[in-house]
Structure 1
Amino acid sequence: MTPKPWRRTGNRTVHRDRWVHLRAESWETGDGAVLDPWYMLDWPDVVNVVALTPDSRLVLVRQFRPGLGAIALELPGGMVEPGEADPAEAARREFTEETGYDAPSFHLVTSLRNDPAHAGNRVHVVLAEGAVPTSGQRLDHGEEIAVEVLPLASVLAGLAEGLIGNANHVGSLLLALRERGRIGA
């Protein structure tokens, strides 16, 4: 069976603020089934930064995540601000704010969709090489972030055990490392 395109028959705003736009849409599937409501989230694009130090360590952040209800180890990153057209520059801004590190090279690896069934935003995977501490953190209101610099081999070994529990971050890490030949295809 070949899927048929769906047709949107309605679209209404449920909630909108500076962080998220929640819409309830009405859809008719290619076979005529009506799906109403079908919830969609519009939020800004985000950047995930895979940052390697000159001695092959990975710069990570540890912070509380309400959805998890616990502190999590993650890649640095965050939202692309309005007016930021270059994901690599947005990644540099987020990375230096969260970690106090900078790098001479920020390279866009790929741009993927976060959840194409219910969200329209993109996740930009950016590789930063040669990361070194250059300043203190410049955290936003409400951010409490600890910086951890771990050997790349240790991080890779811990992925299957959930060392980094965010699947989006695990995928970003593996794609960036594969592009640079740090892991096999």
Structure 2
Amino acid sequence: MTIRPWRRTGNRTVHRDRWVHLRAEAWETGDGAVLDPWYMLDWADWVNVVALTPDSRLLLVRQFRPGAGAAVLELPGGMVEPGEGDPVAAARREFAEETGHDAPRFELVASLCNDPAHAGNRVHVVLAEGATPSGRQRLDHGEEIALEALPLATVLAGLGEGLIGNANHVGGLLLALRKAGRIGF
């Protein structure tokens, strides 16, 4: 079966601020169906850092997330700032800010669509091996982040039980661990 491209027939801004641009679009599918409104969110690209210490611990951050209604365990990361361009540079910056750590090498593992149905931004997964303390956290206004260093085996065993509940983080973690030769699939 051939999937025919859709044609955008309308586009209007519903809301825009410094964080997000919400648009209501109209689309005509390949077979002529009209989908109106079709909501799209324009976000900045962001980075997720999979950071391993020399003793095979994974550095994770715990912070409150309103969508989950709880403090959750996540990969360190954040927005690629306007004009920053390089996701690896953004990863190094965000990692230092959130964890107070650095690593000798940061490597881009993958750049993935966050939500291809409703958003055009990318999630860049970056591997940092040999992470060690380099200073203190430099948190943004409103951030409260606790650093946790868990044995890799503990993290892998807990994935099925929701230890890390963000699907983007779980997928990126697995890709980076494969790249690092820590798991196979």
The residue aligned with 1:33 is 33
Is 1:124 the counterpart of 2:124? The answer is: yes
Partner Cα separation in structure 2 for residue 116 and residue 47 of structure 1:
17
Q: Which residue of 2 aligns with 1:46?
A: 46
Paired residue secondary structure (2:137)? coil
CA distance in structure 2 between the partners assigned to 1:71 and 1:180 by the alignment: 28
Structure 2 Cα separation of the partners of residues 62 and 36 of structure 1? 39
- The alignment's TM-score, normalised by the length of structure 1, stands at 0.99
Query: For residue 68 of structure 1, what is the aligned residue in structure 2?
Result: 68
Measured in 1, the distance between the counterparts of 2:54 and 2:165 equals 25
Structure 1: state its 5+ residue gaps: none
Instruction: State the Cα distance separating 1:2 from its structure 2 match.
Output: 2.3
Helix, strand or coil for the counterpart of 1:136? Answer: coil
Superposed CA deviations along residues 47-76 of structure 1, whole A, max 9, x for unmatched, are 000000011100000000000001100000
Where does residue 138 of structure 2 map in the other structure?
A: 138
- In structure 2, what residue type is equivalent to 1:127? L
Deviation at 1:179, TM superposition (A): 1.1
For the residue of structure 1 that corresponds to 2:154, the secondary structure is helix
Q: Secondary structure at the match of 2:92?
A: helix
Aligned equivalent of 1:113: 113
CA distance in 1, matches of 2:25, 2:129: 42
Q: Residue type of the partner of 1:168?
A: N
1:169 corresponding residue in structure 2: 169
Tell me whether 113-122 or 82-91 shows the greater mean CA deviation: 82-91
Structure 2 unmatched ranges of 5 or more: none
Instruction: After TM superposition, give the deviation of residue 178 of structure 1 in Å.
Output: 0.6
SS of equivalent to 1:96: helix
Aligned partners of 1:35, 1:144: CA distance in 2, in Å? 41
CA deviation map 1:11-61 (0-9, x unaligned)? 111111110000000000011110000000001000000000011100000
Q: Residues 82-97 of structure 1: matches in 2 within 5 Å? A: 82-97=82-97
Q: For 2:85 and 2:10, how far apart are their aligned partners in 1?
A: 30
Question: Counterpart of 2:10?
Answer: 10
Q: Which runs of 4+ in 1 moved over 2 A?
A: none
TM-score norm. by structure 2 comes to 0.99
Counterpart CA distance in 2 for 1:67 and 1:12 is: 26
Deviations 1:134-166 (A, max 9, x none): 111000000000000000010001000000000
